[in-house]
Amino acid sequence: QVQLVQSGSELKKPGASVKVSCKASGYTFTSYAMNWVRQAPGQGLEWMGWINTNTGNPTYAQGFTGRFVFSLDTSVSTAYLQISSLKAEDTAVYYCASQTTIDFDYWGQGTLVTVSS
Amino acid sequence: NFMLTQPHSVSESPGKTVTISCTGSSGSIASNYVQWYQQRPGSAPTTVIYEDNQRPSGVPDRFSGSIDSSSNSASLTISGLKTEDEADYYCQSYDSSNSWVFGGGTKLTVL
């Protein structure tokens, strides 16, 4: 069965960087797009962008350029989200979500990133 | 920027029917498919409707989706409400700049 397993919670200081991983299993990793979605505490879902798992080409949504980087290691079927120069407002749960059809049909369990001094 | 607007919250009694709306800010909501996701506290979202009105396997037929072009809105209707339906619901669609957009979410209370 398809599974996306994300790395564990992170506590970081402002200005630091964090790298969240999302390991896929149960399907051919390079066949389907991988999206990233942010959910700030008590807030709604916000699409951050996606990465073409076949070509490695990332597309970033408005508001997620510059400090946010999507990457892949196809040898281990894993997608990564790196955030640099962390700010308090980056505190959120970050989800990866694969897209085998039109909807985001498989989601990781989410990774809580807390930015606090 | 394209936005999807949902009511902040709705509530209804068990066994009743509730409808959650999702209104597009511009263009025609019928131009791109609308999806609906259910998110229970502490869990990742799951799809309850895709392509406007299609249910994934395993989603009961109490859940249905529709599009109303006259109001530029999509709707999620849940009939025969159960306490387990209590959750946040998000609509999602695509905008003209090739970006996915989520609605702000609706908290459904079944009381």
Cross-chain residue pair B92–A46, CB shorter than 8 Å: no
Cross-chain residue pair B35–A104, CB shorter than 8 Å: yes
A60 pLDDT above the threshold of 90: yes
Q: Given CB atoms, is B65 within the 8 Å cutoff of chain A?
A: no
pLDDT at B55: 97
At position B82, the amino acid (one-letter code) is K
Q: Which residue in chain A is spatially nearest to B41 when comparing CA positions?
A: A42
Q: Which of B100, B102, B107 to mutate to test the interface with A (most CBs of A within 10 A)?
A: B100
CA distance B100 to B78: 24
pLDDT at B1: 82
pLDDT at B27: 85
CA distance B91 to B93: 7
Q: Interface of chain A against chain B, CB under 8 Å?
A: 35, 37, 44-47, 50, 59, 61-62, 95, 97, 101-105, 107-110
Mean pLDDT of A78-82: 98
DSSP per-residue letters across A39-53: E-TT--EEEEEEE-T
**Per-residue pLDDT in tens (0 to 9) along chain B, 111 residues:** 889 999 999 999 999 999 999 999 988 888 899 999 999 999 999 999 999 999 999 999 999 999 999 999 999 999 999 999 999 999 999 988 889 999 999 999 999
